[in-house]
Amino acid sequence: MIRVNEATVVLGIESSCDETAAAVVMGGNDVLSSVVATQIEQHARFGGVVPEIASRAHVEAMTPVIRKALQDSGIGFERIDAVAATVGPGLVGALLVGVSAAKSIALALNKPFIGVNHLEAHLYAALLDDPHVEFPMLVVLVSGGNTLLVNMKSHGKYSIIGQTIDDAAGEAFDKVARFLGLGHPGGPAIDREAKLGNAQAIEFPRAMLHDGFDVSFSGLKTAVVNYVRKNPAISTQDVAASFQTAVVDVLVAKSVKAAKQIGAKTIALGGGVAANSLLRQEITTTCAQHGWRLVLPSMAMCTDNAAMIASAGWYRLLQDGPSELSMGAMPNLKLTDRTTP
């Protein structure tokens, strides 16, 4: 049985979507290296991630990315104590590449394998930049596939208090950007265009604003499509700015409500949409007003990376021990409440 401590080194591997990543992390928080090879350009001309292309690109990139992560870390395979990989959620073919690589290395080194839930890893991404946070912490996890408000009571102990009932925030950004002809991924493009537009130009709906902790973005997306079809001469920048403001208004309002409900000491953002400049600005102002400590992950930690996988893997190993090697890819894996230890 492995003894997990501050010197335990985990090699993390991520391949759930369109980023092949490997990282070496010591003691759960000390990132010795983090390498990310993105496939964004390979998918851009198709307007979204093509699963078959993603799997093939992961196969090509996996070995060089792992080799570079080890080189950058300054340590060799012999110092790796455990190997963690994302087992879900994600594209099944893509996940299998990382899971197979991690299991092979674990077997060859005779070290433990740890299957990591990608969404749980996003909770830990914020802590990598700022490990000494005060709990309870509200994590606002906003990515291409998920929008979750999570009450993190301590390491590995959390419950979900709100989520999207339809589109994820990033999905809404991507769909609206595609409709506006801004390309893929849509979030950064809308963020860019919005800086040149008038956020008050169009009053788009803020669904369920005062209604519980769940969010809904599908009606907003439809409202943008209907508005632009009726007003074809409208400036794309104004649409982008007004849409972005509607999304951020909802996310910030729900975050405030949730933070009050759980008595949060800290708020952390996570997921790709946490890179959004308006969201970062608004949540910063809000936290300052309410006296909540804010953890804003660096851009590199907002988007998919393997440092967060290695970090979550370290905590999982500490709390639960290794995963079975029979654990496979779980494309539909969810984040569910976790009340232990």
C-beta separation of 174 from 215 below 8 A: no
139 sits near ligand KG4 (criterion: CB under 6 A): no
186 sits near ligand KG4 (criterion: CB under 6 A): yes
Question: How crowded is residue 66: how many other Cβ atoms within 10 Å of its Cβ?
Answer: 25
Quote the tokens at residue 105: 């290395």
170 sits near ligand KG4 (criterion: CB under 6 A): yes
DSSP annotation string for 153-176: EETTEEEEEEEBSSS-HHHHHHHH
Q: Which residues pair with 295 in a beta bridge?
A: 268
Q: Which of 239, 240, 273, 310 binds ligand KG4 (CB under 6 A)?
A: 273
CB of 5 to ligand KG4, least distance (A): 30
Q: Which of 12, 98, 115, 271 binds ligand KG4 (CB under 6 A)?
A: 271
17 sits near ligand KG4 (criterion: CB under 6 A): yes
Question: How crowded is residue 46: how many other Cβ atoms within 10 Å of its Cβ?
Answer: 10
CB of 97 to ligand KG4, least distance (A): 16
CA–CA separation, 169 vs 221, rounded Å? 10
CA–CA separation, 6 vs 116, rounded Å? 19
Residues 6+ apart with CB under 8 A from 8: 2, 26, 27, 28, 81, 82, 314, 317
CB of 6 to ligand KG4, least distance (A): 28
Amino acid identity, residue 210?
Answer: H
CA–CA separation, 193 vs 272, rounded Å? 17
Q: Which stretch binds ligand KG4 (CB under 6 A): 54-62, 80-88, 141-149, 216-224?
A: 141-149
88 sits near ligand KG4 (criterion: CB under 6 A): no
Q: Which residues pair with 147 in a beta bridge?
A: 142
CB of 303 to ligand KG4, least distance (A): 4
Return the number of the residue (19 or 81) whose C-beta is nearest ligand KG4: 19
Return the number of the residue (98 or 272) whose C-beta is nearest ligand KG4: 272
Q: Which of 29, 276, 311, 323 binds ligand KG4 (CB under 6 A)?
A: 276
Return the number of the residue (209 or 299) whose C-beta is nearest ligand KG4: 299
Helices H / strands E in the chain, number of each: 11, 10
174 sits near ligand KG4 (criterion: CB under 6 A): yes
Each residue 278-307 as x (binds ligand KG4 by CB under 6 A) or -, in order, gives -------------------------xx---
Bridge-based pairing of strands 157-163 and 266-270 is unpaired
Residues that bind ligand KG4 (rule: CB under 6 A) add up to a total of 19
C-beta separation of 59 from 91 below 8 A: no
243 sits near ligand KG4 (criterion: CB under 6 A): no
CA–CA separation, 159 vs 179, rounded Å? 35
164 sits near ligand KG4 (criterion: CB under 6 A): no
Return the number of the residue (162 or 270) whose C-beta is nearest ligand KG4: 270
DSSP annotation string for 175-222: HHHHHTT--SSHHHHHHHHHTTS-TTSS----TTTTSSS-B--HHHHH
251 sits near ligand KG4 (criterion: CB under 6 A): no
191 sits near ligand KG4 (criterion: CB under 6 A): yes
State the residues that interact with ligand KG4 by CB under 6 A: 17, 143-145, 170, 173-174, 185-188, 191, 271-273, 275-276, 303-304
